[in-house]
Structure 1
Amino acid sequence: MRRLTVWASLALLTGWMVSSTAIALVKPFPPSFEIRDIPTNGVTLHVRVGGSGSAVILLHGYGETGDMWEPLAVALSRNHRVIVPDLRGLGLSSKPAGGYDKKTQGEDVAGLLDALKVDRTDVVTHDIGNMVGYAFVAGHPDRVRRFVLMDAPLPGIGPWDEILKSPMLWHFHFGGPDMERLVAGRERIYLDRFWNDFSADPRRFTEADRQHYARLYAMPGAMHAGFAQFAAFDQDARDNQVSLAKGKLSMPVLAIGGAKSFGPTMAVVMRAAASNVTEQVIPDAGHWLMEEQPEATIAAVQGFLEATP
């Protein structure tokens, strides 16, 4: 019923009639997870919370929402209190006009943890979630036990300037009012480009998932917020360089790359930002690790978080 409530809210916001088939597109979080909308730092985050034990927060990236984490969240909830927000402007979180620099969003995370009375946490991130996660961890290193990043660079850190030269990353500079008009009503077409081009096998990013996320990104303000996440990269790079000048991260870090995507470069990036980095490459996977190789990805994250200190 919780998922029905979420989709009913979505239908009201968009004016769409959502069928029972659409409601079931993506596997919902189990009933043991509480679904809440939590105000923090001038935004309201849509959050799923479940399990018990030491805390772990999961931060999603572009083209998805916190829904991507359901299999990992369920696995981790056996030993952890798992916190899964939608980022500012995405999914069912509120969509303010600004605040999409990652330093601000790092404070979204800090405020969310304060609201949930969590002092210390593990952090697991993917894609733009890596950038939000790094901003939070760099700003609050005493609150973080272990940090896992998956398959995306950090602005201004390591080989960032070389990464920007890749023609595959033209979307980093795609945005503004005309671009929003260009994709209006064509959100699925635009997002298919990401799901297809960055997969080892596009069929692994299922039609059900594509329909689910395309509906969420077609909500009013969602594409604007998504473009704003990328438009902030220059500011993010400046902020990250200031953070790095204060010293590298000292907590254990796991850098995971898909073998047919970012691969070992994820560890190259993190060795420029952290002093205790473990490298892992997931075979036969592109960028969408949780969709393409969920079992291997879950095993890698669990093994790292539950390793003896």
Structure 2
Amino acid sequence: MPYADVGGNVRIFYTDDGDGPPLLLVHGWGTDSHQWSWHIDALAARHRVIAADLRGHGYSSVPEQGNTPRLMAADLAVLLDRLGLPEVVAVGHSMGGQVVSILAVEHPDRVRALVTLDPGYGLTDGVAARFPEMIASLRGEHPHAAAEAIDEWCTNAATPTVIRRWHKRRLYGMAPHVLAEAFEAMFTGPEAIGTRPASDDYLARRRCPVLSIWADPERARWEAGLLKHPASRVVCWDGSSHRLHEERPAEFVHLLAGWLRTLRK
């Protein structure tokens, strides 16, 4: 499997499958590109599918600092250069939804369209009030147990046991400093875009078509008001958990394929 040097002594692991219009798949916090194992084969039937491990995650380099969504997005821009891909449809789940949105804002010529899956932005003050305590626990004596407690929010009765176990195993394999630094950079750091109104201000700068799939009806309605491109679409799978695309992989692939067809008309 290939690696790409993206600068700053960071090497990114990625897989490259299929042929056709390119898709870039970006995983969430505390996991890796194995998260797309439910989807790659179906997507690669019609697309070239690049699935990358973000810095600090999976088989990619684990720098002592700089494990932030903004630098992760910069890494992906370099990865696209290394692969000779002028533009992609970028797909991101959770923190990956932040990362691909940053890629679309800071490198608009590289992102033809954007797909976000229950993305890690748009959190309200009530939720955000708990983040300093969570970050402190991630920097405490038992960071993996703290990460597991945070991850419990990501599942519900719709989530199969195998998916719960899969994510728990990956969390416990993560470097604790990456878990803490990435979470802080998403939500409370000086450049964080995870909470409102910072989310509103930054995401309104996206100009490409956006397909956004949510489990939360309120956040789905909120994001619908930020989208600029007429081909953009917001979908809510009420009753699903944060792991919605893993719980409903065939439905996600079908929805994505149908939306991409509308962009070609």
Q: TM-score range by the shorter chain?
A: 0.7 to 0.9
**How does 1:2-41 map onto structure 2 within 5 Å?**
35-41=1-7
**How does 1:236-251 map onto structure 2 within 5 Å?**
236-237=191-192, 248-251=205-208
Structure 2 CA distance for partners of 1:264 and 1:165, relative to 1, 3 Å = closer
**1:164 aligned residue:** 125
Q: Return the letter of the residue paired with 2:172.
A: A
- Aligned partners of 1:51 and 1:80 also within 8 Å: yes
Q: Deviations over 1:59-109 (max 9, x none)?
A: 111242111111222111111110111111112211102223322221111
Q: Return the letter of the residue paired with 1:164.
A: D
- Aligned partners of 1:198 and 1:287 also within 8 Å: yes
| TM-score calculated relative to the size of structure 1 | 0.73
Measure the CA separation in 2 of the matches of 1:242 and 1:231: 15
Percent identity reads: 24
**2:142 aligned residue:** 183
Measure the CA separation in 2 of the matches of 1:63 and 1:238: 18
**2:76 aligned residue:** 109
* Cα root mean square deviation, aligned: 3.0
**The residue matched to 1:79 in structure 2 has which SS?**
coil
**How does 1:207-226 map onto structure 2 within 5 Å?**
207=162, 209-219=163-173, 222-226=175-179
Measure the CA separation in 2 of the matches of 1:165 and 1:242: 15
Per-residue deviation at 1:294? Answer: 2.0
**2:117 aligned residue:** 150
Residue 300, structure 1, aligned to residue 259, structure 2: no
Per-residue deviation at 1:172? Answer: 6.1
Structure 2 CA distance for partners of 1:64 and 1:172, relative to 1, 3 Å = farther
Structure 2: gaps spanning 5 or more residues: none
Among 197, 200, 203, the alignment partner of 2:156 is 200
**The residue matched to 2:241 in structure 1 has which SS?**
coil
Mark the structure with the bigger radius of gyration.
1
**The residue matched to 1:109 in structure 2 has which SS?**
helix
**2:210 aligned residue:** 253
- Aligned partners of 1:49 and 1:84 also within 8 Å: yes
Measure the CA separation in 1 of the matches of 2:37 and 2:218: 26
Measure the CA separation in 1 of the matches of 2:203 and 2:101: 14
**How does 1:60-139 map onto structure 2 within 5 Å?**
60-139=27-106
